[in-house]
């Protein structure tokens, strides 16, 4: 298994900009009603999430919260940037949009957890792909395809989600999401496989992971308007690893199939 590598200074700069809350905590790439020029929100939170994808140990980190829009076309939310290049609303009020996207894929350091000792590091990488989204009356369904373009072996994912957002009070809005993700063999072996070299270095038996659905998840997020410009946010996300991801030694023996992440913070709207 060859590890993802990314050394370009421009990619490193992009990583610093796009390190934001987990995808489930983003505002689903939806521009506010006022959609002229640059607008959105910038914030900072405290997040608790697994030390690595599949870990049973969690770490606390400061978590930037970025939701930027230019008009109703371009967006940068969380770790994903894209453009709504095709937009259409049906006679029944169903809004459909689609376009390209770029997404920063988190890596992994073997120092993150004792279970990773000897497995080497996986650097951040850049994914490119496309998405399609459907919206109506608070409901949203989305599908996207992402492929690593920073090297030749990082693999691809297909991500599917459905969610519903609603106002609870004048100041409080909630959103619930369900999601799942399919991953290619290259992706699965990068993050869950154990090759011969890693096995020799770590003492973990070799493991080859195949393509398939790797997880299902659910999340709940809340936004609270403190004033016209300032707001608070919070989120809770649960992910269950499945298939070959769940059977990997770094999950089944050294980690956990059940992944929980939380974030709370404050943001400024403009």
Please give the pLDDT value at position 30: 52
206-230 pLDDT, tens digit per residue, is: 999 999 999 999 999 999 999 999 9
Please give the pLDDT value at position 61: 93
CATH class of 9-269: mainly beta
Please give the pLDDT value at position 154: 84
Please give the pLDDT value at position 6: 41
Positions in the chain short of pLDDT 70: 1-35, 152
Please give the pLDDT value at position 248: 97
Please give the pLDDT value at position 83: 97
Please give the pLDDT value at position 17: 39
Please give the pLDDT value at position 123: 87
- DSSP per residue over the chain, as a string? -PPP----HHHHHHHHHH--S-GGGS-TTPPPS--SSEEEEEEEEEEEEESSTT-S-EEEEEEEEEEEEETTTEEEETTEEEE--EEEE-TTS-EEEEEEEEEEEP-B-GGG-GGGTTS--B--EEEEEEEEEEEETTEEEEEEEEEE-SSSSS-EEEEEEEEEEEESSSSEEEEEEEEEEEE-HHHHHHHT-B-HHHHHHH-PPPB-PPSEEEEEEEEEEEEEESSSSEEEEEEEEEEEE-HHHHHSHHHHTTS-SEEEEEEEEEEEE-
Q: Where along the chain do its domains lie?
A: 9-269
171-180 pLDDT, tens digit per residue, is: 999 999 999 9
Please give the pLDDT value at position 171: 95
């Amino acid at each position: 298994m060859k590890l993802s590598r990314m050394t370009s200074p421009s990619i490193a700069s992009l990583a610093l900009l796009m390190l934001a809350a987990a995808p489930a905590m983003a505002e689903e790439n939806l521009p506010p009603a006022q959609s002229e020029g640059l607008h959105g929100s910038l914030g900072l939170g405290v997040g608790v999430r697994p030390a690595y994808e599949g870990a049973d140990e969690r770490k606390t980190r400061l978590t930037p919260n970025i939701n930027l829009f230019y008009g109703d076309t371009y967006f940068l939310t969380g770790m994903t940037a894209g453009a709504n290049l095709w937009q259409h609303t049906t006679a029944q009020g169903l809004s459909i949009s689609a376009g390209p996207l770029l997404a920063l894929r988190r890596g992994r350091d073997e120092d993150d957890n004792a279970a990773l000792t000897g497995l080497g590091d996986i650097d951040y990488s850049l994914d490119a792909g496309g998405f399609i989204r459907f919206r109506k009356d608070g409901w949203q369904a989305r599908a996207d395809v992402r492929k690593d373009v920073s090297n030749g072996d990082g693999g691809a994912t297909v991500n599917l989600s459905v969610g519903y957002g609603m106002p609870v009070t004048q100041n409080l809005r909630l959103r619930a999401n369900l999601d799942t993700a399919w991953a290619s063999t290259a992706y699965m072996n990068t993050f869950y496989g154990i090759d011969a070299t890693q096995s020799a270095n770590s003492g973990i038996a070799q493991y080859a992971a195949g393509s398939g659905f790797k997880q299902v998840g659910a999340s709940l997020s809340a936004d609270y308007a403190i004033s016209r410009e300032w707001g608070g946010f919070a989120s809770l996300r649960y992910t269950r690893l499945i298939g070959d991801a769940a059977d990997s030694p770094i999950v089944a023996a050294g980690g956990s199939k059940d992944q929980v992440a939380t974030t709370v913070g404050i943001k400024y709207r403009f």
